[in-house]
Structure 1
Amino acid sequence: MRAGEGERRSGPPGQGDRRLGAAELGAGLGERATLVQFSSAFCQPCRATRRTLAEVAEMVDGVAHVEVDAEERLALVRELGIVTTPTVLVLDAGGRVVRRAAGQPRKVDVIAALGAAV
């Protein structure tokens, strides 16, 4: 994903080797990687991000797209230091956060970011 405000290779400082799973996300992980999108109800860029991530997940075997409503999972949002929507996390097969970006990503950047996870 493009370098932008808030992009990090891992979560907030002190998060360590934090892994996310179905219990936190409300959906299962992909076999190879998971694209996790934190969204809010009235976020216009979230809609475009949803389409982009869904397209990439369909193109790449073993990749899942999970959308998380930031308002419904406020404790997780705070724990991960998410301050804007959309925020996208790329998780490896074990649920470890390997890439993070805020804002609407381009498809080519999402595909490139998956390289860190698979």
Structure 2
Amino acid sequence: MRGQDAGGRLSAAELGRGLGERATLVQFSTAFCAPCRATRRVLGEVTRMVPGVAHVEIDAEDRLELVRALGVLKTPTVLVLDADGRIVRRATGQPRTADVIAALGEAV
């Protein structure tokens, strides 16, 4: 997962659902974004493979305040959160499964 360290923290309330036991993959998407659909499949596959990891998809158009607060400029943007909701990685574009699993190594 190409990206940058992000810092900051997100709560279950901000996400609209609970955090994963070990980590959470937060995906910002838009309705007509083809790479977003592929990213959803990749992140879903990873959450099935890695116990304790949750995937939360957020419609960027519905959550503009959060998008602006986090500086999300394009979709898909994926944030990797640790168990406490700290943002440990951030990447844009469609990730590869191996890259997501490697990024999770920083969170767990």
* 1:49 and 2:39 matched: yes
Identity of paired residues, percent?
A: 74
Q: Distance in 2 between matches of 1:21 and 1:59?
A: 24
State how 1:1-118 maps to structure 2 within 5 Å: 1=1, 3=2, 7-11=3-7, 18-118=8-108
Write out the 4+ residue segments of structure 1 that deviate beyond 6 Å after TM superposition.
none
Amino acid in structure 1 at the alignment position of 2:49: M
Structure 2: any 5+ residue segments left out of the alignment?
A: none
Deviations 1:4-36 (A, max 9, x none): xxx21115xxxxxx2111211111100000000
TM-score between both structures, scaled by the size of structure 1? 0.89
Summarize deviations over 1:14-72 as a string: whole Å, max 9, x none: xxxx2111211111100000000000000000000000000100100100000000011
Higher helix share: 2
Q: Give the Cα separation in 1 of the matches to 2:26 and 2:17.
A: 10
The TM-score, its normalising length taken from structure 2, stands at 0.97
Question: Can you give the 5+ residue segments of structure 1 that lack an aligned partner in the other structure?
Answer: 12-17
Distance, in Å, in 2 between the alignment partners of 1:54 and 1:69 is 16
Q: In structure 2, what is the Cα distance between the partners aligned to 1:41 and 1:28?
A: 23
Per-residue deviation, residues 61-116 of structure 1 (Å, max 9, x unmatched): 10000000001110000000000000000000000000000000000000000000
Length, aligned pairs only: 108
